[in-house]
A and B are shown apart, each in its own frame.
Chain A
Amino acid sequence: MLGELLNPYHLQIVSFVLINIILGISIYITLSSGQLSLGNAGFMGIGAYTSALLTINFEVPIILGIILGALVAGIFGILIGIPALRLSGVYLAIATLGFGEVMRVIFVNWESVTQGAIGLSGVPHLGREVFKTLTAIGFDPEILGLKNNQFIYLIVVSILLLINIFIVWFFVRQNKSRVGRAFAAIKMDEKAAESMGIDITYYKVLSFTQGALLAGFAGALYAHVMAYISPADFAYHRAIEILIFSVFGGSEVIWGAIFGAAFMTIMPEALRFISEYRYMIYGAILILMMAFRPQGIIDVSLLQWFKKIIKFRKGTDHGTGIKKRH
């Protein structure tokens, strides 16, 4: 039964959704301390190329490659984050966009290492590698009633899902803590935050670096899910796409970025039947959003409304009435 339900094409889309969610969170994290970075496509590229080159040329295990890819992107995050402290708003956005372009040009022109515009093919595939290890110890996907390629895509989706759950858990907790409050304070009023004893430099670089690290992580995963990367994957349209995840879904809360990434990945696929017109709809939705809900679909008040509904349901279910809040 499972075998009929799982269509590799759908699984592939789900894995794109999950990678894009990580990218959405990566821009949300930098935004949560009031910094608009459009360099996340560049950091994504650094993660992707680092992991791909290490696994292809040095036979580094995929897991180690992905971790190193994320770390290298994180180190670049610190290096870019420190001079970026002098900039804010639109100026920071343009400077980071410029950084992304520089990275793309490096990927194109450093042909001896990156193969230039042709890109890197033969990147070890995450699903296939896990599959190889599992079959080596005598596992057969037939037990689950699955064909090999169904099983491979299922592995990818499961791993990505676990990673997503961990990342969301991590940042939800961070947001509710002293660190999250410091980010929010800086976003709302930098001078006041500084007067309250918050080390602006440290927290801004921290959030910038966390964003870069996550984008690098997503990039490394992308390389091993696609098995092929080229500089065009990390060009400026990707930077804008990541921005749209957060702007469309809502940039105030982590759930906004998650929703935005999921919706914006699934919609073009779901609208495939109207072929070329779907990008028109995509554009129309964005214009309508900016006109009627500039804060994005999900904002703080929507979440509070949602929580109230859940409380209300629970209250009536148990016949205990609604808890009143003063």
Chain B
Amino acid sequence: MVLELKNVTKNFGGISALTDVSFTINEGEIFGLIGPNGAGKTTMFNVITNMFLPTSGEINFLGEKISGTKPHKITDKGICRTFQNIRLFSQMTVLENVLVGRHCRSKSGVFSSVFRTKSQQSEEAMTREAATELLDLVGLSDYEDVIAENLAYGQQRRLEIARALASNPKLLLLDEPAAGMNETETENLFDLIKEVQKKGVTVLLIEHDMPFVMKLCDRITVLNFGKKLAEGTPEEIQNNKDVIEAYLGSEEDDDLDA
């Protein structure tokens, strides 16, 4: 298994964002994390990447305990993410964004960069090559020199994926990748994620577009109010009574959908 969460709890003051959540993700899977707004999905991502420390519980990545490791080291170990509210380096070009993503897979420092040593030059060439390939994969090779913030919304989302892939992750975390996309863009995204899976990358994604999630994911975990509600294949989830209730609300609490 790639990722294992054991009884993860995260409290903010008195508020419990995640309570005792456990699940495991197997290698090569596309794993979905769904739930109503405020269910703790993004908090889960922040805890996995150690932007937040879990209050209690343990997270193992490839059999190694990673809770407490600094976020940049997590990326180095092979987990990389995208953001719900796109966080590209907006004043950089498309290519530069992907080059930055490659940071932890290269190592030239100040002096080798300034004096352009042989190893730095070959590293820089390899970095560029990898970046161009990734832009090709996400279909942005014609936009290399465009400033990132000038891209269309769907393109920005794809660029974020390319930037995350540049760090050669074993596990890719996608936070609502289809949000705000039209039908064609969503279809392209579907193909892209399948392509990423074929390259041997395990994918964990948060998504609200249910048809998309059900079609794409191998397994799904449902969160509600910070607790795990259900886990299983898309068919199992679609037929789960608790899940249907959480999404549609039972008769008594249909105003408490937050």
Please state if B75 and A192 are interface contacts (CB–CB under 8 Å). Answer: no
Please state if B113 and A174 are interface contacts (CB–CB under 8 Å). Answer: yes
Cross-chain contact of A196 among B100, B109, B145 (Cβ < 8 A): B100
Please state if A192 and B113 are interface contacts (CB–CB under 8 Å). Answer: no
Contact A197/B104 with A174-B113, A177-B120, A191-B87 known, Cβ cut-off 8 Å: yes
Contact with A along B71-112 (1 / 0, CB 8 A): 110011000110100011111100010011101101011100
Contact with A along B164-202 (1 / 0, CB 8 A): 101100000000000000000000000000000000000
Contact A193/B100 with A178-B106, A178-B108 known, Cβ cut-off 8 Å: yes
Please state if A197 and B106 are interface contacts (CB–CB under 8 Å). Answer: no
A170 at the interface (CB under 8 A from B): yes
30 pairs across A/B with beta carbons < 8 Å?
A170-B114, A173-B113, A173-B116, A177-B124, A178-B127, A179-B108, A181-B100, A182-B100, A184-B89, A184-B92, A184-B96, A185-B92, A188-B89, A189-B88, A189-B89, A191-B51, A192-B88, A192-B89, A195-B51, A195-B83, A196-B72, A196-B80, A196-B100, A196-B101, A197-B80, A197-B104, A198-B72, A198-B104, A200-B72, A300-B91
- A223–B196 Cα distance when bound, in Å, is 60
Please state if A188 and B90 are interface contacts (CB–CB under 8 Å). Answer: yes
Question: Which chain A positions have C-beta within 8 A of B116?
Answer: 173
Please state if B110 and A195 are interface contacts (CB–CB under 8 Å). Answer: no
B19 at the interface (CB under 8 A from A): no
- For chain A, give the interface size range: 20 to 34
A206 at the interface (CB under 8 A from B): yes
A326 at the interface (CB under 8 A from B): yes
Please state if A192 and B120 are interface contacts (CB–CB under 8 Å). Answer: no
Question: Which chain B positions have C-beta within 8 A of A180?
Answer: 113
Contact with B along A122-155 (1 / 0, CB 8 A): 0000000000000000000000000000000000
B156 at the interface (CB under 8 A from A): no
Question: Which chain A positions have C-beta within 8 A of B100?
Answer: 181-182, 184-185, 193, 196, 198
- A174–B116 Cα distance when bound, in Å, is 10
Please state if B81 and A195 are interface contacts (CB–CB under 8 Å). Answer: yes
- Shortest 5 CB-CB distances between A and B: which pairs? A197-B104, A177-B113, A197-B75, A192-B87, A188-B89
- A224–B240 Cα distance when bound, in Å, is 80
- A170–B113 Cα distance when bound, in Å, is 9
- A75–B155 Cα distance when bound, in Å, is 45
Q: How far is the CB of B85 from chain A (nearest CB, A)?
A: 11
- A325–B80 Cα distance when bound, in Å, is 32
- A194–B107 Cα distance when bound, in Å, is 16
- A181–B142 Cα distance when bound, in Å, is 22
Question: Which chain B positions have C-beta within 8 A of A326?
Answer: 142, 145
Chain B interface, number of residues (Cβ within 8 angstroms): 38
- A179–B164 Cα distance when bound, in Å, is 19
Give 11 A-B pairs besides A198-B103, A326-B145 with Cβ atoms closer than 8 angstroms: A174-B110, A178-B99, A178-B127, A181-B96, A189-B90, A192-B87, A196-B72, A196-B103, A196-B104, A198-B72, A200-B72
Within 8 A of B (CB), among A164-182: 170, 173-174, 177-182
Residue with the greatest number of chain A CB neighbours at <10 A, chosen from B75, B87, B109, B113:
B113
B49 at the interface (CB under 8 A from A): yes
- A170–B116 Cα distance when bound, in Å, is 11
B227 at the interface (CB under 8 A from A): no
A199 at the interface (CB under 8 A from B): yes
Closest to B163 in A: A196
- A193–B97 Cα distance when bound, in Å, is 10
- A179–B110 Cα distance when bound, in Å, is 6
Please state if B76 and A197 are interface contacts (CB–CB under 8 Å). Answer: yes
Closest to A188 in B: B89
Question: Which chain B positions have C-beta within 8 A of A325?
Answer: 145
Question: Which chain A positions have C-beta within 8 A of B70?
Answer: 199
Cross-chain contact of A199 among B72, B101, B167 (Cβ < 8 A): B72
Closest to A176 in B: B113
Cross-chain contact of A194 among B72, B92, B101, B127 (Cβ < 8 A): B72
Question: Which chain B positions have C-beta within 8 A of A192?
Answer: 83, 87-89
Q: How far is the CB of B143 from chain A (nearest CB, A)?
A: 9
Contact A194/B109 with A173-B114, A189-B87 known, Cβ cut-off 8 Å: no
Q: How far is the CB of B212 from chain A (nearest CB, A)?
A: 24
Closest to B49 in A: A195
